[in-house]
Amino acid sequence: MIKPLLFHTGRYFVMLGSTLRKPSNFRMYWKETVRQMYDIGVGSVTIVVLISVFIGAVSAVQFSYQIGGTFIPKYYIGYIVRDMTIIELAPTFTGLVLAGKVGSNMASEIGGMRQKEHIDAMEVMGVNTASYLILPKIIAAVVIIPILVSIGAFVSIIGGYIASVPFGDLTNLDYIKGLRSFFVPFNVVMMLIKALVFAFILTSVSCYQGYYVEGGSIELGKASTNAVVISDVMILLADYIIVLMLTT
């Protein structure tokens, strides 16, 4: 148990060391980064919006149910939806969902290249494959995922509005009052920090799983599954550590 853990951790950092070397041709890296940005951004915005609407809606309905019959003012629904979304739900849910969608895709893509000797072919040419294949993905993810998370947070708040105001739980003014109450700008910073860290984790862990895949299609499937499972666990662990560091 300990030995494989140390082995994979060591190899992960060795891979990161190669990944973060100076690119041999910036133009080629830029082209690849833009392609990845498009894939991650455009390819994931629909699922992020869809999930975010429901997260906001469920949060509003749930909180409305919990404060029913208490003296807590109704406008707190807007306040709670806003803060829950920004601090926790938007970055974490988006991270977990993207680990499944983007992470597994990256592991399969790089793993397939390993199996079809594409990576060997590049190595023989002299390409730093860890850098060329992984760095553009990491850069694209750390740029695009915080944007997706911000979109997700905004849409969640709208989702909370849709689920509560038209159904008479509270008035339009109350919801807006809630949204404008007790606002701490640092929470937005915390959301963006989480998004950055989660983006780095899900891309680097997934690329690691694909980069070192051995064997055939069964191993590739396992690598893809491991990419999602390990990324999810690491994201939740990182979430806890970030919260501890930034709030206590």
Partner 1 sequence: MIRCENIFKSFDETEVLKDISIVFESGKNNLIIGKSGAGKTVLLKILVGLLNPTSGKIWYDGHDFTSLNHKELQKLRNEVGMLFQGSALFDSMTVEENIRFPMDMFTKKTKKEKKNRVNYCLERVNLEGINDQFPSEISGGMQKRVGIARSIVMEPNYLFCDEPNSGLDPKTSIVIDELISNITYDDNITTIINTHDMNSVLEIGDNINLLHNGKLAWQGTKSEVLKSQSEELVDFIFASPFLKKLRGQAIDEL
What is the per-residue burial (b if ≥16 Cβ within 10 Å, else e) of 191-226? bbbbbbbbbbbbbbbbbbbbbebeeeeeebeebbeb
Distance (Å, whole) CA 248 – CA 242 = 10
Distance (Å, whole) CA 124 – CA 77 = 60
218 binds partner 1 (CB under 8 A): no
**CB count in 10 Å sphere of residue 156:** 30
How many positions of this chain bind partner 1 (CB under 8 A)? 14
- Say how far residue 239 (Cα) sits from the centre of its chain: 11
Site string for partner 1, 108-137 (x = CB under 8 A): --------xxx-xx-xxxxx----------
Type of residue at 125 = M
- Minimum CB separation of residue 108 from partner 1 in Å reads 13
28 binds partner 1 (CB under 8 A): yes
58 binds partner 1 (CB under 8 A): no
- Minimum CB separation of residue 124 from partner 1 in Å reads 4
Among residues 14 and 121, whose Cβ is nearest to partner 1? 121
Contact at 8 Å (CB) between 210 and 105? Answer: no
- Minimum CB separation of residue 46 from partner 1 in Å reads 23
Distances (CA, A) of 121 to 117, 126, 128: 6, 9, 11
Binding range to partner 1, per CB under 8 A, among 9-17, 22-30, 36-44, 187-195: 22-30
- Minimum CB separation of residue 215 from partner 1 in Å reads 14
16 binds partner 1 (CB under 8 A): no
Among residues 1 and 124, whose Cβ is nearest to partner 1? 124
Q: What sign results for the dihedral spanned by CA atoms 210, 214, 217, 222?
A: negative
Among residues 80 and 207, whose Cβ is nearest to partner 1? 207
25 binds partner 1 (CB under 8 A): yes
- Say how far residue 167 (Cα) sits from the centre of its chain: 32
For binding to partner 1 (CB under 8 A), which residues are involved? 24-25, 27-28, 116-118, 120-121, 123-127
